[in-house]
Amino acid sequence: MDKRAPSSASAHNREDTSPETIGASSKTSSPASAAISSRRKQASTAKLLAITALGLWLIAWYRYGELSVIFTSSSSISVSSRLTSFSSSLSLLSTLLLRPASASTASGGFLDLPLTYALCTHPGDGKKIYTVDADNSVAECVGISGERVVAAGDLDAVRTGLLAHIGLGHVGDQRLIAVRHIPQGAIVLPGLSDSHCHILEYGASQQIPMSEAKSVQETIQILRAYIQSDNELLTNKDKIIEGWGWDHASWGIPEMPSWKDLDSDPITSGRRFILQSRDGHAIWVSKRTLEDNALSIPDGEVDGGVIFRDAEGRPTGVFMDSAQDLIARPVPTDADLARRFATTVDHALRSGLTSLHDAGFKPESYGFFERTAKKDVLPLRIYGMTYFDEHGTYWGNSDVPYTANLAKEGDGERLSRRSVKIFADGALRTGGAALYEPYTDNPSSRGAMRISAEELHEIIPRFLKDGWQVNVHAIGDRANGIVLDAFESALQTAGVNVTALRPRLEHAQIMTREDMKRLGELGVIASIQPTHPISDMWFAEDRLGPERVKGLYAFRHILDSGARITLGSDFPVEEVNPLKGFYAAITRAGTDGTSPHGPGGWFPDQRLTRLEALRGMTIDPAYASFSEDYLGSLEPGKRADWVVLSGDIMDEHMDPLEIVMSVKVLATALDGRVMYAEA
């Protein structure tokens, strides 16, 4: 039975004004719990019980009209009045009984919310519901019925709006509306979004914690410990070991690792390793993996990629960008994908995230998400970018299910796919970002384009004409310039309304001031990740030089150029933690308060305001995914996605360090149902 269902109408509608406010007795909810997967069965049971109850009530009403006094002050009413009363009563009982089953097995203050309720600031705290509407209004309460926001404002106005919504406006008894207050000092925000992440890859990355290593030797020890923790793996050297997160930029050495490092320890030696770099743009493999793939590794170079070789020209075990495709990887099973997804969902909901923009759907990932969506067990919203293989053929007008053009207005479903993801270049950390001038710390390289300018000029207009949103990974200044040239060409020569299709530059890291201006003129959205600057700031100037680095992560310049932004994390490259992203956006300092430019932040003139950061995680991602009509703010008619934080991150008097050190997510709700609540 629905855990939010009360034992009686009075229990359902009783106002909670107790100092023991919401969340005080909540237990941690697992978003991947069995209750989610059995939601349909529970809903059917609830509806059957509701229909039975309504039938019995109807018989009683027909025989004993006096029962209608529970909704009217007079026990002597006409047939017309009785029918009006019955209609109102039926509406209320439907509201009380015909509601979906809870998506969580946990209980407590947040999780026993009825279908219709007012969520309010703690008495005495004033207004702490940040609606993120066009006026950035802050309200005392938000009214929710079913999956939608009905009203926002003061308590009386919200209760009046809810009564009208459920057909009881003429009754006027505001006690019929349940009121729940959040804890003292807490705030409510719209559900948070991550505009650029890798959902299944994050789940896979949590298997081996390589990102914690500060040297090659530490990485080998982590791999050794992982193998020794699994007896089956320890005794079976044939099994492929996949991992994610090694980061040579944090090791303090310019050299890439090699297969020899993996063979330097008796436990790791002789095994099949395929290890993804932290930025996702390089893999490090063992000698045995090289031998397995020897026939597919050419003697020469690869377009858009790099095969690292020794003095004799033999592969050392590191493959960058397009060259990664030379190494065959095991195809994950549905069980593998389910485990990875469950990990990501758990971490995302605990972090206040309700919407994720997956930056690279592949056939196996989209198929998994589609099957999961059909089972009605997607516990958050996924907006997918379908990966385009730069060495493949155009598929934007194909009828194949995986590549069919699904560009249409969002309807509130939890899985959407209407955009394409193209890689223009590599990454800054691994030296693959395409630059106009050579790297300062490697004068022999300008990075590399993964796809030529000619190909971009051909495929971008085609995708746009076929109705796809085009999202292009571009990090170096050369890559960003070439991509903007292609968007501009599509506008001028192909007659495409670029702005209406909302194309995005994913990362937009190193840009000239002229190209920043073009972003705004063309209506291209800059999809940026605020935690990248605080990860890269310690090596960025050595890599780019003192002048060029000024165009790196220049968020304020991008905004001032008139461009739109949307914020993400790029997890697993960074943490699944929007509060850390919020902190990084407003400080441009590490979580220890330091930066190469002092405690005021790295290039502090490029900081965002708190409001800009909040909008960048709520309404801006909604716009960037064509869902601003039903997501991104707490406004009437929109989906009731909300998050409760323990502290007011919008208060300018709050020390920014408190945001990452003290503020916690107390609850995360999707469609009005709580998916996670902290104990």
Instruction: Delimit the domains of the chain by residue range.
Output: 9-190, 201-326
Q: Tokens representing 495?
A: 């007659």
Q: Which residue has the tokens 């490697």?
A: 442
- Using CB atoms within 10 A of its CB, is residue 397 exposed (0-12), middle (13-18) or buried (19+)? middle
Buried-exposed string 308-339: b where 16+ CB fall within 10 A, e elsewhere: beeeeeebbbbbbbbbbbbbeeeebeeebbbb
- Note whether 527 and 196 are within 8 A (CB): yes
- Note whether 621 and 632 are within 8 A (CB): yes
Pairing status of strand 665-670 against strand 240-246: unpaired
Q: Where are the alpha helices (DSSP H) in 229-283?
A: 231-235, 259-262
Among 192, 185, 180, 189, residue whose Cα is nearest residue 646:
185
Q: Which residue has the tokens 């009982």?
A: 93
Sequence-separated (6 or more) residues with CB below 8 Å from residue 547: none
- Note whether 287 and 258 are within 8 A (CB): no
Across 448-578, where does the E strand assignment appear? Answer: 469-474, 504-507, 525-528, 565-567
Cα(605)–Cα(619) distance, rounded to whole angstroms?
A: 24
pLDDT, position 253: 80
Cα(434)–Cα(195) distance, rounded to whole angstroms?
A: 23
- Note whether 67 and 61 are within 8 A (CB): yes
Cα(119)–Cα(115) distance, rounded to whole angstroms?
A: 12
Element (H, E) at 516: helix 513-522
SS3 readout for 268-314 = CCCCEEEEEECCCCEEEECHHHHHHCHHHCCCCCECCEEEEECCCCC
| Average pLDDT per 10 consecutive residues for the chain, totaling 679 residues | 36 39 45 42 47 44 30 31 41 40 40 92 96 98 98 96 90 82 97 98 91 92 95 93 88 88 96 92 95 94 91 94 92 92 97 97 86 85 93 77 38 80 94 97 95 96 92 98 96 81 97 97 97 96 97 98 98 96 98 96 98 99 96 98 98 97 97 93
Cα(501)–Cα(523) distance, rounded to whole angstroms?
A: 9
Q: How many helices and strands (H and E) does the chain possess? A: 22, 23
- Note whether 14 and 7 are within 8 A (CB): no
Cα(257)–Cα(264) distance, rounded to whole angstroms?
A: 12
Q: Is the peptide bond prior to 572 cis by the omega test (within 30 degrees of 0)?
A: yes
Cα(319)–Cα(534) distance, rounded to whole angstroms?
A: 26
DSSP for 644-668? EESS-TT-TTS-HHHHHHT--EEEE
Alpha-carbon separation of residue 582 from 94, 153, 357, 555, 607 (angstroms) = 41, 26, 17, 13, 11
Q: Tokens representing 82?
A: 């009785």
- CA 533-538-540 angle, 5° bins: 70
At 41 the three-state DSSP class reads helix
CA 347, 351, 355, 361 torsion: positive or negative?
A: negative
Cα(371)–Cα(356) distance, rounded to whole angstroms?
A: 18
Q: Tokens representing 327?
A: 């190494």
Cα(655)–Cα(597) distance, rounded to whole angstroms?
A: 19
Cα(366)–Cα(390) distance, rounded to whole angstroms?
A: 19
Cα(397)–Cα(643) distance, rounded to whole angstroms?
A: 39
Q: Phi/psi at 463 (nearest 5 deg)?
A: -65, -40
Among 63, 61, 52, residue whose Cα is nearest residue 86:
61
Alpha-carbon separation of residue 327 from 294, 301, 609 (angstroms) = 9, 15, 44
Among 544, 540, 567, 425, residue whose Cα is nearest residue 482:
425
Name the maximum alpha-carbon separation found in the chain. Answer: 101
Look at the domain 201-326 and name its fold.
Diaminopimelate Epimerase; Chain A, domain 1 (3.10.310)
Among 304, 268, 310, residue whose Cα is nearest residue 289:
268
- Using CB atoms within 10 A of its CB, is residue 469 exposed (0-12), middle (13-18) or buried (19+)? buried
